[in-house]
Amino acid sequence: MSNVERAPATQLLTRTDEPATELLEPREVPLGGPRAMLVRRSLPNRNRRMVGAWCFVDTYGPTDIVRQAGMQVPPHPHTGLQTVSWLLDGEVWHQDSVGSRQLVRPGELNLMTAGYGVAHSEESLDRSPALHGVQLWVALPAEYRDSRPHFEHHAELPTLADADGSVTVIMGRFEQAVSPARTYSPLIGADVSVTAGARLRLALEPDFEHAVLALSKPITVDGQRVPVGSMRYLNHGRREVLLEATDPARALLIGGVPFDERLMMWWNFIGPGHDEIVDARTTWERERTSGEPGGRFGTVPGYGGPALPAPSIPNARLRATGRYRRRT
């Protein structure tokens, strides 16, 4: 998924002293323009930029796409990150510049590693009347940021279940269940289903920081209510978390070792600083407008329309727009 804001804020991704817990409330962003489908962006957040290596979280739907365009994101570039696509309802068609063409369905993982540069498009299919899902980005550590781009699709993922709910491991490890998805730093991403009225206790890795995102219904995290689209952040040092829900509910558990590298995220690019971001933006615009095959980002075969232009970079060196966390 692309960040389609025309004036994206510059985010300096780094870690500072952390509160034990906090609620991260989303803001609404139009996907593709003011008349397009709205998404709820929980990360980057005004108060927090990352949870482990997770640096971007959008939830969307459930949306009736019979009478509107749904997700229609033209080819756009990425650097320095992995895109993680996870559906609860509907179907999305993925195409990218490394030659992948893949339909993603609920319960299946689409994982694209951008490395030094890749382009892809995403289109929801109108044969599915509803669309509901989450799109996440994972920042790559420095030693992998210039790696070759590649794509993975995993139709089967490990699941642990009991009477109180279930956990499907999307990325990383949860207890004895290990996802086949490739990761580049210690992290966890898991889809959690909570039975109505149940008290589901999940074991946590104490070296990780975590967050619980409410996907379908409000959920209670350690006694604190989390509305749909919001996340409850949990600082490292915890060994478990208690999830409760009045109605059957879905949540996403993400976490990882606190990411200590200083990174700049602007538009769809992650890099160490201003010069690398400007170079990526300049290269994308040159390749997009020339239409020549090859190059750093390549082209997305099979997509019938134009690629997405990059926003203009502010007339100043990119820098942090505020503190990592609000001063209290």
The CA distances from residue 118 to 38, 235, 242, in Å, are 25, 33, 39
**241-257: per-residue pLDDT in tens?**
999 999 999 999 999 99
Report the 10 Å Cβ neighbour count for 279.
Answer: 14
What DSSP character marks residue 250? E
Identify which of 119, 68, 159 has the alpha carbon closest to the alpha carbon of residue 283: 119
H helical segments located in the chain: 274-290
Pairwise CA distance, residues 223 & 251, whole Å = 15
**189-211: per-residue pLDDT in tens?**
999 999 999 999 999 999 999 99
The SS3 call for residue 283 is helix
pLDDT band with cut points at 50, 70 and 90 for residue 324: very low
Is it the case that residue 34 has pLDDT exceeding 80?
Answer: no
Pairwise CA distance, residues 6 & 26, whole Å = 19
Report pTM.
0.91
pLDDT band with cut points at 50, 70 and 90 for residue 186: very high
pLDDT of residue 108: 98
Name the CATH topology of 11-256: Jelly Rolls (2.60.120)
pLDDT of residue 262: 86
